[in-house]
Structure 1
Amino acid sequence: MTITAGADGSALGNPGPAGWGWYIDADRWAAGGWPHGTNNQGELTAVLDLLRQTSHLAEDLVIYCDSQYAIKSITEWMPGWKKRGWRKADGKPVANLELLQALDAEMTKARAAGRRIDFRWVKGHAGHGLNEQADRLANGAAAAYQAGRVPDPGPGIAGTDRTARDVLTGGRPAGTQSPGPEVNEPARRRTTSYPDLETPEAPTLFD
């Protein structure tokens, strides 16, 4: 069987308060973010967290994204960047290096395990169920940081403690501003919730 999920990122101001989220169903989703980050960092982190949290599962994974940057970075551009020492064709360093290297490691592990990861582009805000849910999570997380709160991280996937959070520096992607003390506040202070999350009718969880 195949797990099907949506992943998305958001930034209010870009850069600005930023969030990410991925969604499989009402019982399996996650969200996070930073007080200051970019939309692309959110997009990459959503995919990375999803890959890590499902890495102990045998099922293949289909990820719906509305970010061409995230999809092409992982599926097309990464081999060339690696050959050039993580530099672009013009010789400039690749942005979001820590996230991309972590994504490369997860994709390598998946291939070694015989697990297929399939990325599918979907137009944003076009009514795609999983994309809309992931977008709601990412936007909600960004809005939470804008308001000085920490978003609900979600239930994630049972059976693993692997997330994308250890890739971040002080709770944020390298190169972003310090998130401040609220990042480490206990879960009881995470007041942002997503009461309207529901399992979309299509596509189904398992293909």
Structure 2
Amino acid sequence: MTIIAAADGSALGNPGPAGWAWYVDDDCWHAGGWKESTNNRGELMAVLDLLNSTAQADEDLKVFCDSKYVINALTKWMPGWKRKGWKKADGKDVLNKDLLEQLDSALKGRDVEFEWVKGHSNHAMNEAADDRARAAATAYQRNTRVPTGPGYVPAGTSQSIMADSPVEASAVDSASEALTAVAPAAASTTLVSCRVPTHIADELVSRAQTQGIHPQEFLAEIIGRSLENE
């Protein structure tokens, strides 16, 4: 059996508030995004999340995609980039290297067919993915709840499967994303959350990365020291 899906990205400004989504049917789809990113990163992330979400399905995968950049990157250009250490002809890193490396790993051992479809041409699955990617981008723009969807629901079941990918600092597109990505839980801890001004979030993430720890761990240390000094 083959899983048939559509994957799409959206950016309101490019760069700007951005979203990504993949769609199998109304009961099987997933979406997300960032406060600021690009359309191409959204397109790539949609495919990456689809691959990760279906990794345990043991089925072939067919992906409708309206991005020739994504299809060419994954089916034509990637071998050459890898041979050159993910470098372009000018010696600079290829764009979106972090996502492309993860996609390269996620594609190993998978039988995946990509088919290009023209965007906004009434292709039902592509339109459904586009609608959800744009809705995610709009939610980030308006600072409202992001409609993420049920995730991957294997045919004939009602249990969804969400992609379980580690959060890498290089893959985080904004300070808010880094702060809201949940750090591994330590023993006897409680997860709390709060809103902070953007400039403070930026500084927290920068200092945490300097120390090589998760932003939440760094914030917990600051709170702990502050309470001890009271």
TM-score interval w.r.t. the shorter chain? Answer: 0.7 to 0.9
Cα distance change on mapping 1:76 and 1:179 into 2, 3 Å: same
Output one character per residue of 1:11-33: Cα deviation in whole Å (capped at 9) or x when no partner: 00000000000000011000000
Cα distance change on mapping 1:123 and 1:69 into 2, 3 Å: same
Q: Which has the higher helix share?
A: 2
**Unpaired segments ≥5 residues, structure 2:** 154-159, 183-190, 192-230
How many pairs were matched up?
Answer: 177
- Give me the whole-angstrom Cα distance separating, in 1, the residues matched to 2:138 and 2:168: 20
Q: Does residue 18 of structure 2 align to residue 18 of structure 1?
A: yes
- Give me the whole-angstrom Cα distance separating, in 1, the residues matched to 2:30 and 2:138: 15
Aligned with 1:118 (options 113, 116, 127): 113
User: What are the within-5 Å matches in structure 2 for residues 1-207 of structure 1?
Assistant: 1-110=1-110, 116-158=111-153, 160-164=161-165, 166-167=166-167, 169=169, 173-174=171-172, 176-179=173-176, 183=180
Specify the code of the residue in structure 1 equivalent to 2:14.
N
TM-score, structure 1 length as denominator? 0.79
- Give me the whole-angstrom Cα distance separating, in 2, the residues matched to 1:137 and 1:109: 29
Q: Partner residue of 1:205?
A: none
SS in 1 for 2:176: coil
Give the share of equivalent positions with the same residue, in percent.
Answer: 50
Q: Which runs of 4+ in 1 moved over 6 A?
A: none
- Give me the whole-angstrom Cα distance separating, in 1, the residues matched to 2:87 and 2:37: 21
Output one character per residue of 1:164-202: Cα deviation in whole Å (capped at 9) or x when no partner: 5x3454xx944x33236995699xxxxxxxxxxxxxxxx
Is the CA contact (8 Å cut-off) linking 2:21 and 2:129 kept in structure 1?
yes
Specify the code of the residue in structure 1 equivalent to 2:176.
P
Q: Which has the larger radius of gyration?
A: 2
1:57, CA displacement in angstroms? 1.0
